């Protein structure tokens, strides 16, 4: 395990690096294939399931029915809600009583992050079965670590990705629409951050230079989000998987996940990390805060107003935040804005992947300007 608080360089030579899950499975009713997929990977014996509330209610009965006939015993533990050091330590301690062959994370992004951390501590392979399309976390080989109160404290980076990422779109179609919309916000930043990292010739999250494929995947993610986002929201309102929802789920989870790791992160996620230090923001979802970071990034980069307007219009259309107040931040509180800005430019933060020097005062000014622009889209 590598435990760092930054996304700094791993390699000295300018090598391109591409990392991804070993296998991706998506579709309606995919949960029913989990036993066969785990058997295909050669797993036998007890499996630790770190399960969020929806997973416990809707998926656990399927696991308990399908896994024993193929030689797997699900040991299900309720996820505590935060990917914190204390939660990781609690779950690792369960291995004292079981000889687990793998760890499965089932739930939202924080459950995925926790499962990766626990699997790494135990030296086991990890499988992710998200019940939400709210972040691109399931695809990655890292965990965002939070305090028990919900502030970002650092990151863990791992040597391998999930062995399997299995996405049941019937489950995701029945999740709250706000969760899917937050995933749109997280995914929307992917192309713009990968573009900035490429322009600055900085490293991606897996420790190498972004390859051409990274930029193409990030741009494809962007294009699908713009084309299918509203129709996917309608499918969630109806509670059914549709072709548009299938494409958005793939974009939110797989394309955005690959795009951010092999394309790179920039100011949008750094501002998210700053916003997360403000208690008033803790009720907001990851993607809701990331999209505020995206508005800030585009303003700070001086991008064409047509591009900025397109992003704001999209956010208005699908229900993403356009102002600081919508994520619990007082735009008139300069001390609060400076705290966000200073956190976003600490050494090693992804804000330094921008193709110019980024300072706290510049971020603070961009936060204010973006908020002013966003007010027209309420």
Smallest Cα–Cα separation from 137: which of 148, 147, 124, 126?
A: 126
Active-site residue, 186 included: yes
Contact of 188 with 181, CB cutoff 8 Å: no
The active-site residue, picked from 113, 120, 168, 186, is 186
Q: Which residue has the tokens 């001390």?
A: 335
Sign of the torsion angle spanned by Cα atoms 258, 259, 264, 270: negative
The active-site residue, picked from 161, 198, 222, 286, is 286
Find the length of the chain. 378
The active-site residue, picked from 161, 198, 222, 269, is 269
Q: Which residue has the tokens 């000014």?
A: 365
Question: Cα 321 from chain centroid?
Answer: 17
Active-site residue, 283 included: no
The active-site residue, picked from 272, 295, 352, 371, is 272
Phi/psi of residue 125, each to 5°? Answer: -70, 155
Q: Outline where DSSP puts E strands in 52-171.
A: 72-78, 102-107, 126-130, 142-146, 152-157, 164-168
Active-site residue, 272 included: yes
Smallest Cα–Cα separation from 321: which of 281, 248, 378, 279?
A: 378
Active-site residue, 269 included: yes
Smallest Cα–Cα separation from 343: which of 272, 239, 280?
A: 272
Smallest Cα–Cα separation from 260: which of 232, 233, 293?
A: 293
Smallest Cα–Cα separation from 323: which of 377, 251, 254, 285?
A: 377
Catalytic residue annotation: 186, 269, 272, 286
């Amino acid at each position: 395990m590598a435990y760092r608080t930054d996304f700094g360089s791993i390699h000295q030579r300018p090598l391109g690096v591409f990392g991804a899950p070993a296998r991706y499975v998506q579709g309606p009713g995919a949960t029913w294939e989990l036993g066969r997929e785990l058997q295909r990977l050669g797993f036998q014996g007890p499996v630790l399931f770190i399960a969020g509330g929806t997973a416990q209610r809707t998926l656990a009965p399927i696991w308990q029915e399908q896994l024993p006939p193929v030689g797997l015993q699900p040991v299900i533990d309720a996820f505590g809600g935060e990917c914190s050091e204390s939660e990781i330590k609690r779950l690792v301690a369960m291995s004292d009583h079981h000889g687990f062959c793998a760890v499965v994370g089932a739930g939202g992004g924080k459950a995925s992050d926790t499962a990766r951390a626990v699997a790494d501590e135990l030296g086991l392979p990890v499988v992710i079965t998200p019940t939400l399309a709210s972040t691109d976390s399931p695809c990655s080989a890292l965990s965002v670590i939070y305090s028990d109160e919900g502030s970002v404290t650092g990151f863990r980076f791992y040597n391998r990705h999930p062995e399997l990422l299995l996405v049941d779109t019937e489950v995701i179609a029945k999740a709250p629409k706000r969760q899917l919309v937050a995933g749109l916000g997280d995914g929307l930043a992917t192309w713009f951050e990968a573009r900035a990292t490429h322009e600055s010739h900085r490293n991606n999250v897996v420790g190498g230079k972004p390859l051409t494929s990274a930029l193409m995947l990030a741009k494809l993610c962007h294009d699908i989000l713009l084309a299918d986002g509203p129709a996917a929201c309608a499918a969630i309102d109806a509670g059914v998987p549709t072709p548009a929802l299938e494409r958005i789920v793939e974009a939110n989870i797989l394309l955005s996940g690959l795009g951010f790791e092999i394309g790179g992160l920039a100011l949008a996620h750094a501002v998210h990390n700053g916003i997360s230090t403000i208690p008033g923001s803790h009720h907001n979802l990851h993607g809701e805060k990331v999209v505020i970071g995206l508005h800030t990034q585009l303003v700070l980069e001086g991008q064409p107003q047509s591009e900025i307007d397109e992003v704001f219009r999209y956010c208005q259309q699908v229900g993403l935040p356009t102002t600081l107040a919508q994520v619990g931040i007082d735009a008139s509180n300069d001390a609060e804005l400076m705290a966000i800005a200073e956190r976003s430019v600490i050494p090693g933060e992804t804000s330094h992947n921008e193709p110019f020097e980024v300072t706290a005062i510049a971020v603070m000014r961009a936060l204010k300007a973006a908020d002013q622009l966003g007010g027209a889209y309420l």
